[in-house]
Structures are given as C-alpha cells and as structure tokens.
Amino acid sequence: MLPVQGADVEAVTIARNADGSFHIAVTVSSDETGWDKYADKWEVLGPDGTVLGTRILHHPHVHEQPFTRSLPALGLPPQITTIRVRAHDSVEGFVGAEQVVPVP
C-alpha cells in the first residue's frame, strides 16, 4: 500500500433519512502534521462535478487516523443516482483518493 499523500477518502456510507435527506459519513486518512497541514474539508459532488455539500473539518486529526465525520441531513436532487466524495488537504488540495457511491 502506498503512503497517504494529502487526504484520501477511505469509505463512504449513505443512508436516506425519514425526511428524504441523506446522512453521509466519510472516513478520511491524511498525512497530517498539525495545524500547518491537515485535512480541512471533504465535499460531496454530483456526477457533473457540482458541489452538493461540504463538511468543514475545523482542526487536525493527527492522532486519530483514519477518522470519520458526517453530514447528517444533506438534500440531494432526485435525479442524482451516484455521488463522488473527495477530501481536501490544507496544503496539497484535492490530490487524494476519491470514492464514488450509489445513492439509495
């Protein structure tokens, strides 16, 4: 396995809430060093690249790798059948592994 560079999306779970929105949980691995370099957000994108949701990560997770955070109630347009999730590194940007998952 190659070492993580930037922030990799390791796993994504998506579930429909009772109100029709979606709970999305994302597991990220990152080569964080502290406040000078860390995974600072992840994004949910539609098939055309439109950003549908963003989860801001407010602090480094140096001693919690990998880590999972969620968006509890993301509204998605009904025509969206898959989403792409990517993580952002504060220094390297969007360079890590992404995941594409079907919308239930």
Kindly list the domain boundaries of the chain, sorted by start residue: 7-102
7-102 architecture in CATH?
Answer: Sandwich (2.60)
Contacts (Cβ under 8 Å, ≥6 apart) of 56:
40, 41
Positive/negative CA dihedral, 10, 42, 84, 49: negative
Q: Between residues 6 and 80, which one has the greater pLDDT?
A: 80
Is residue 84 over pLDDT 50? yes
Q: How far apart are CA 90 and CA 100, in angstroms?
A: 22
pLDDT value of position 64: 87
**4 pLDDT tier (thresholds 50, 70, 90):** low
- DSSP, collapsed to helix, strand or coil, labels residue 91 as coil
For the segment 74-88, the average pLDDT, to the nearest whole number, is: 95
pLDDT value of position 1: 44
Could you report the per-residue pLDDT of 9-65, keeping only the tens digit for each? 999 999 999 999 999 999 999 988 889 899 999 999 999 999 999 999 999 888 888
CB 34, CB 64: distance < 8 Å: no
Beta bridge partners of 100: 84
